Amino acid sequence: MADTVGELDLREEQIDRIVRNFALKEFKLLPICTTVATSGWSNTYYQETDSDLTGGTGSAVAGVPRLANFPYGQVSWTETTEKILKYGMESVISWEDQHTSTIDVMARTLLRIARAVASAVDTAIITELNTTTNTTGAVATWDNAVIADRDPVQDILAAISAMQIDNWDPLKGNCVIVLHPTNHKELLMNQSVRNAGQFYTSKVTSEGMINTICGLRIIITTAQTENTVTLAIEKDAMTWYEAAALTTHTIVDPGVKTTIRAFQVGVPVLINNNAAYKITGC
C-alpha cells in the first residue's frame, strides 16, 4: 500500500533515523572498538598471553646448534566469559506538548534519549578499558601547585614507550588517548604543550584546541574518570559484542501521546590488555 505524507510508518521511520543520527554524534568510544555480532547472552572469548615466546632454560631461541632439536614454544590463552547488558531509555510525549508547545519537545526528547544510550555505552567501554593492568602514576598532577612539576608530555611518552616495549606501536596513527574534560584543560594549559610545536597542532593557540598529542588522537569525554588518562590501540584493545545495534521504536496513541524508545544490547571487552595503558593521578 502506498504511503502518503504524515502517515504513521513514515513518521516512525523519520524518528528512527533522527535518533540514530543524534546517537552517532554522541558516541565517543564505541567507534574505537571492533564490533562483533553475537546471539548469546554469555560470550566466551580468549585472551592470548602477550609476552614473546622463549625456548626456556637451556634452550634459547638464538644459537640453535647444528642438527639439534629446535626449542619448543607454547602459546597460551585464558578463557573468559562476559554477559551482555541492555542499555535503554524511553520517553512519553503528550499530543499537546508535541503539537502546541513553544519548545520543540520532540527534537529535544529525541536528542536526550539518544544521548542517554550513547553515554551509558561509552561509560561501560571506558570502565572496561580502565581495567588494563598496564598502569603507572603520573610524575605529578597536571594541575600541581608547583608549576615546574607538571609534565603531562613525559607521562604520555612514558606510556607510549611502555606499550612499545610490549610490542604495540601507538605511533602508527591508530592510537587514541582518552581524557576527562578537566584533564584536557590542564593539558592545554601546560607550558611544554603550548611551546613545543612537535607535540600538537597549530590550533592550540589560535582556537584553544588540539587534535593530537605526541602522535595520539585525543578523545575528550565525561565518561572518563577525572585524573585518569588512558591510551588504547583502536580496534585492537577493545571489542564490543553486540546482540542488538541501536534500535528505536515509536508507539503512537493518536490524539493522546507518543512513546519513543531506544535501546542497544551488548558488552565491551578488553581483548588485548597490552594494547591499552592507563596513567593515574594526572
Q: What is the pLDDT of residue 184?
A: 93
List pLDDT tens digits, range 120-162. 999 999 999 999 999 999 999 999 999 889 999 999 999 999 9
Whether pLDDT at 16 is above 60: yes
Those residues whose C-beta lies under 8 Å from the C-beta of residue 150, and which sit 6 or more positions away, are: 140, 141, 142, 143, 144, 186, 190, 191
Whether pLDDT at 30 is above 90: yes
Of how many residues is the chain composed? 282
Q: Which amino acid is at 42?
A: S
Q: Residue 172 and residue 179: Cα distance in Å, rounded?
A: 20
Q: What is the pLDDT of residue 48?
A: 66
Query: For residue 14, is it left (φ>0), alpha (ψ between -120 and 50) or beta?
Result: alpha
Cα 137 vs. chain centroid, distance in angstroms?
A: 21
135-137, strands of its sheet edge to edge: 135-137, 276-280, 228-233, 175-179, 216-220, 212-213
**SS3 assignment, position 226:** coil
Q: Is the dihedral of CA 105, 111, 114, 118 positive or negative?
A: negative
What's the CA dihedral at 267, 26, 163, 191 to 10 degrees? -150
* Beta pairing partners, 37: 242
Fold observed for domain 8-49+77-129+239-272: Major capsid protein gp5 fold (3.30.2400)
**Domain-wise residue ranges, the chain:** 8-49+77-129+239-272, 135-236
Pairing of strands 238-253, 257-270: antiparallel
Whether pLDDT at 207 is above 60: no
Cell of 67: 642438527
- Rounded to two decimals, the pTM is 0.78
List pLDDT tens digits, range 91-119. 999 999 888 877 788 878 888 888 889 88
Q: What is the pLDDT of residue 8?
A: 44
Neighbours of 183 (CB within 10 A): 25
Cell of 180: 576527562
CATH for the stretch 135-236 = 3.30.2320
Q: Residue 111 and residue 24: Cα distance in Å, rounded?
A: 11
Query: Strand runs (DSSP E) across 4-127, as ranges?
Result: 34-37, 42-48, 77-83, 85-94
Give, to the nearest 10 degrees, the angle between helix 105-129 and helix 8-26: 40
Q: What is the pLDDT of residue 227?
A: 97
Confidence at 13, pLDDT banded by 50, 70, 90: low
Given this chain, do its domains 8-49+77-129+239-272 and 135-236 carry the same CATH topology? no
Neighbours of 150 (CB within 10 A): 25
List pLDDT tens digits, range 50-95. 667 776 665 677 778 888 888 877 777 776 777 889 999 999 999 9
- Residues 227-239 have a mean pLDDT of 96
